[in-house]
Structure 1
Amino acid sequence: MNSVRKPSGRWMWLVALSIMLTACAQATPDEQIPASLCGTPVGKRLSEPLLRPLGEVKEWTSAGREVGQSYWCVVSVGKHDALRFNFARHGGPADVTEAASPGDSVTGLQNPRPLRLADGAVAGDDGAIATTRCRDGSGADHFTLALKVTRGKFDADRRVAIERFMRAYMPATVRTLGCLKR
């Protein structure tokens, strides 16, 4: 007669421990990528390349979007800044080409080139700037977003990641602003 041998309690404990450790190791990177950045929902696949290497993600912001016409948000990973956002509501369209010029210390970009997005956009090796119409109750009729990536290797892959991120982030941010109908 064949008998089935039951595994010992120690064996089962080791199997359970290895499964838990594997699950924790795999879950950690996803948990480090936030569901939103600076008040705008983001897809993890879009933000992950810009936040690598991963670590604890924190945000610092100036007065919020409800308070001022212009505000900023800095996203850090670990102990280092990773992304810097500048948001501005203003009258008239912004000249994104001028703002992207390397001589501008706040929004200047490396190797800026036009990006087909919104009413005007430019992307560089280290960030992007876009502007679009967005009328609000205070009299502003345009919104401009500037993104600077402040860590990581600036290469063709990073530029592609910046462009993909901006194509998703800019319209998502505009949707959160509650622009009035024209």
Structure 2
Amino acid sequence: MTRAVRIPLFAVALALLVGFSAWYRARSVDAELPGSLCGTTVSPDLSRLILRPDGKVTEHNGVDRRRPRPSSWCQVIVDGRSALSFRFAWHPDAVDPYEIAQSHDSVSSIEQPTRLNAAYQAAVGNNGAVATTDCETDVGDYFTLTVLLEGTNPVDRSRRKDMERFLRAYFPATVKTLNCA
């Protein structure tokens, strides 16, 4: 003899409500993530690696790719608070991203950096990354990008792999937008 298990109607309704809520939240997070970060097209999956918005995402972009200045900033802001800072720098001399990342006198100071093995020079740390490559323009022969996670604990190592995956995709895509000679 088999027994029928009775599930109260409110339990079924609650399970459906929780499932719908999770589905809707996942959809709304995708909708909140921008299609580009600081002028470089990104997929929501890529931006989600380092940008975990819990509100409205905006940016203040001072980067002019057609007429670059030696240094320009772009900030990604979530609900009025800076979440990411990008520094775009063009310069005449080659630099070592690891040295930049280690320098606590630098605006690009990154906690516990390690060198990244890539087609370009890069360093990744707990709270950001620095990458550089040849890029001949009117203001310099090299381009360096710094990405800093704002409002994070600089000794927390949990975001390093995500930052590395982000940089490996974002940096080459950004360089393609720069019209380097």
Please tell me the TM-score bracket, short chain as reference. Answer: 0.7 to 0.9
**Structure 2 segments unaligned to the other structure (5+ residues):** 1-16
- Give the letter for the 2:56 counterpart: E
Q: Distance in 2 between matches of 1:134 and 1:120?
A: 13
**1:65 corresponds to which residue?**
65
- Local SS of the residue matching 2:112: coil
Q: Distance in 1 between matches of 2:54 and 2:103?
A: 28
Could you tell me whether the CA contact under 8 Å between 1:117 and 1:130 is conserved in 2? no
Structure 1 segments of 4 or more deviating over 4 A?
A: 21-26
Could you tell me whether the CA contact under 8 Å between 1:130 and 1:146 is conserved in 2? yes
Q: Distance in 1 between matches of 2:139 and 2:111?
A: 33
Q: Report the structure number with the largest CA radius of gyration.
A: 1
**Structure 1 segments unaligned to the other structure (5+ residues):** 1-17
Q: Over aligned residues, Cα RMSD in angstroms?
A: 2.1
Q: How does 1:1-182 map to 2 (within 5 A)?
A: 24-67=24-67, 68-136=69-137, 138=138, 140-152=140-152, 155-180=156-181
How far the C-alpha of 1:113 sits from its partner, in A, is 0.6
Give the direction of change, closer, same or farther, for the CA distance of 1:25–1:148 in structure 2 (3 Å limit): closer
Q: Distance in 1 between matches of 2:40 and 2:179?
A: 13
Deviations, residues 63-104 of structure 1 (Å, cap 9, x unaligned) = 523332321101011121110000011112112122111513
Could you tell me whether the CA contact under 8 Å between 1:131 and 1:143 is conserved in 2? yes
- Local SS of the residue matching 1:110: coil
Deviations, residues 115-138 of structure 1 (Å, cap 9, x unaligned) = 1134311110000001001112x1
Could you tell me whether the CA contact under 8 Å between 1:100 and 1:112 is conserved in 2? yes
Q: Distance in 1 between matches of 2:63 and 2:160?
A: 29
- Local SS of the residue matching 1:147: strand
Number of residue pairs matched?
160
How far the C-alpha of 1:105 sits from its partner, in A, is 4.2
Q: Which moved more, 1:43-52 or 1:140-149?
A: 43-52
Q: Distance in 1 between matches of 2:143 and 2:43?
A: 22
